[in-house]
C-alpha cells in the first residue's frame, strides 16, 4: 500500500492539476510545464512556467499526470526555459510549487532580474461548518463582472490598463476547466448591489477545495462580507465531500492574519518569480 502524500504535496498537486486543466496550450519541460492561453495573454496565471517536479507522484489527481519520473529541473536552466517559451510576452513568470526547490532557485532567479513573491499555503478543516443565515449566492461570472471591473479600475486606473482589466475579469471562463466542480460566490447588499465575490474550486475525489480571488469592493468593506464568503465556501466544500479547504495568502500582506484568526494554518510556501517588461496580472 502506497504512503499517503503530505498535505503540502497534495495541495501542490491540486494546483498543478488545476493549471494543466485550464490551460489552452501545454508544453511539458524538465520538472514542469509551460501553460499558455493567448486569449488571456496579460494574465500571469495563464501564461507561466510551472515547476512541479518535486511533487510526490502519489498526490497526483487523475486524469492529470506528470511525466515519470518527475525530474527536478536545474535552477540555472529556468531563465532560459522561460525566455524560450514565454519570450513573446511582456513578462516571464516562473511558479515553483515546492518550498525547498523554490528556495534553491531563488539566488539564480534573483540574479537574472526576477522578483520573488512568497505565497503561503493555508488550510483548515471544513468539518462542522454550517451555512450562515444569509449565505453568499452561487452566481455566474457575468453577474459580478461590472463590480469586478470597477474594483480593478480602482487598483489599475487609466485607459492604458483597459485590456488588462478586461482579461483579468474574463479569465474565469478558463478557470471553469480547472477543477471537477468550479463555483463562483457573491454577496449582495440589501439594495441588490454586488459587494464581494470569490472563486471556489472543488475536487471531492481528492477531498480538497480551494478558495481563490476573495475580494470585497472598497465601498463595502468592514460589513462582514468576507466572513460570509468564507463560511459559505467552507460549508459548500463540506457538503461536496471536501474535508479540507485551502487558499494562497501573500506572505507580506495582512489577509494571512485574517485567515489565521479564522482557523487556517500555514502548511508551507511556494514562490512566484516574475521578470517584468510591461503590464500584466
CB neighbourhood size of 75 (10 A): 19
The CA distance from 126 to 241, in Å, is: 9
Pick the CATH number of 137-267 from 3.20.20.150, 3.30.70.1140, 3.40.630.30, 3.30.390.50: 3.40.630.30
Q: For residue 111, which phi and psi values (nearest 5 degrees)? A: -65, -25
> SS3 of 18, please?
helix
Per the document, the length of the chain is 281
| pLDDT average, residue stretch 155-162 | 97
pLDDT on residue 64: 44
Output the average pLDDT for the chain.
Answer: 91
Q: Residue 67: pLDDT band by 50, 70, 90 thresholds? A: very low
pLDDT on residue 74: 84
Q: Is 173 left (phi over 0), alpha (psi -120 to 50) or beta?
A: alpha
Residue 279 has pLDDT above 70, yes or no: no
Residue 3 has pLDDT above 60, yes or no: no
Q: Are 202 and 180 in contact (CB under 8 A)?
A: yes
Instruction: Kindly report, residue by residue over 117-147, the tens digit of the pLDDT.
Output: 999 999 999 999 999 999 999 999 999 999 9
Instruction: Kindly report, residue by residue over 86-116, the tens digit of the pLDDT.
Output: 999 999 999 999 999 999 999 999 999 999 9
Question: Which residues of the chain does CATH 3.40.630.30 include?
Answer: 137-267
Amino acid at each position: 500500500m502506497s504512503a499517503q502524500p503530505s498535505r503540502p504535496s497534495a495541495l501542490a498537486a491540486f494546483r498543478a492539476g488545476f493549471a494543466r486543466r485550464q490551460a489552452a496550450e501545454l508544453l511539458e519541460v524538465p520538472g514542469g510545464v509551460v501553460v499558455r492561453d493567448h486569449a488571456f495573454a496579460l494574465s500571469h496565471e495563464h501564461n507561466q512556467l510551472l515547476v512541479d517536479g518535486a511533487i510526490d507522484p502519489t498526490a497526483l489527481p487523475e486524469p492529470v499526470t506528470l511525466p515519470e519520473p518527475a525530474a527536478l529541473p536545474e535552477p540555472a536552466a529556468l531563465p532560459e526555459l522561460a525566455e524560450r517559451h514565454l519570450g513573446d510576452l511582456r513578462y516571464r513568470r516562473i511558479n515553483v510549487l515546492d518550498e525547498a526547490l523554490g528556495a534553491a532557485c531563488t539566488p539564480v532567479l534573483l540574479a537574472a532580474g526576477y522578483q520573488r513573491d512568497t505565497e503561503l499555503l493555508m488550510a483548515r478543516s471544513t468539518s462542522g461548518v454550517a451555512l450562515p443565515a444569509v449565505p453568499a449566492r452561487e452566481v455566474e461570472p457575468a453577474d459580478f463582472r461590472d463590480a469586478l471591473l470597477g474594483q480593478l479600475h480602482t487598483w489599475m486606473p487609466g485607459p492604458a490598463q483597459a485590456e488588462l482589466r478586461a482579461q483579468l475579469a474574463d479569465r474565469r471562463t478558463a478557470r471553469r476547466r480547472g477543477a471537477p466542480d468550479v463555483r463562483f460566490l457573491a454577496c449582495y447588499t440589501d439594495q441588490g448591489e454586488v459587494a464581494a465575490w470569490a472563486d471556489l474550486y472543488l475536487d471531492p475525489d481528492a477531498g480538497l477545495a480551494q478558495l481563490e480571488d476573495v475580494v470585497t469592493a472598497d465601498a463595502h468593506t468592514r460589513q462582514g462580507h468576507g466572513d460570509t464568503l468564507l463560511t459559505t465556501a467552507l460549508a459548500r466544500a463540506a457538503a461536496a465531500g471536501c474535508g479540507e479547504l485551502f487558499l494562497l495568502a501573500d506572505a507580506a500582506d495582512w489577509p494571512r492574519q485574517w485567515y489565521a484568526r479564522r482557523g487556517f494554518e500555514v502548511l508551507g510556501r511556494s514562490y512566484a518569480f516574475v521578470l517584468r517588461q510591461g503590464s500584466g496580472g
